[in-house]
Amino acid sequence: MTVRPPTLREKRRYVLARVLPGGMTVDPKELYFAVAEAVTSLWGDDLASRVHPAVLAIENGCAFIRCRRGTERELALALSTVTSCAGQKIALRTIATSGTMESLRARLQETARGAPGALPAGTGISVGGKDVEVIFCESQKIDVVEKGFKNAARFFLTTQDLEDK
């Protein structure tokens, strides 16, 4: 079978979505099932077959999801309805849409550099007398995990919480 020329290929778009809460590991296959279920339950079987979503990769806490050109809006709306994946509570927030994965990876590297004053992952800080480790920091939101062997709890802080202390 010969390869189709670019003019005859189906046009696709790629959506970059952040997986929240940060620092969570998600299986791409399980995320595909969650996304497919969200698209089908929101738009029905007919439009779901036209969107044809596929989870291609998960890198740096973000998912690369492919769809057909012209259905990016429907996919982005369906992504916002995903609430769980393999029994874990998650949320998907659309960051960008593009015609190539390379441009989305470049965009991801720009956001990974972080905003000025952002805390890098792995930084140890003290909050309320407890030692915690930063696992994710984006603009106004900071996710931290309490250090220790037992009762490791996840906290969600804002930069305003840190400034008040």
91 and 34 Cβ atoms separated by less than 8 Å: no
pLDDT for the residue numbered 6: 85
Predicted confidence (pLDDT) at residue 162 exceeds the cutoff of 70: no
- Tens-digit pLDDT profile for residues 123-134: 666 666 677 766
Domain 10-112 has CATH 3.30.70.3250: yes
Q: Nearest 10 degrees: CA dihedral of 105, 106, 112, 114?
A: -150
**Residue bearing the bigger pLDDT, 27 or 155:** 27
Match 């690369």 to its residue by tokens: 64
Domain assignments of the chain as residue spans, ordered by start: 10-112, 124-164
Match 């979505």 to its residue by tokens: 17
CA separation for the pair 153, 145 (Å, rounded):
6
- Tens-digit pLDDT profile for residues 51-90: 999 999 998 889 999 999 999 999 999 999 999 999 999 9
Question: Max Cα separation, the chain?
Answer: 66
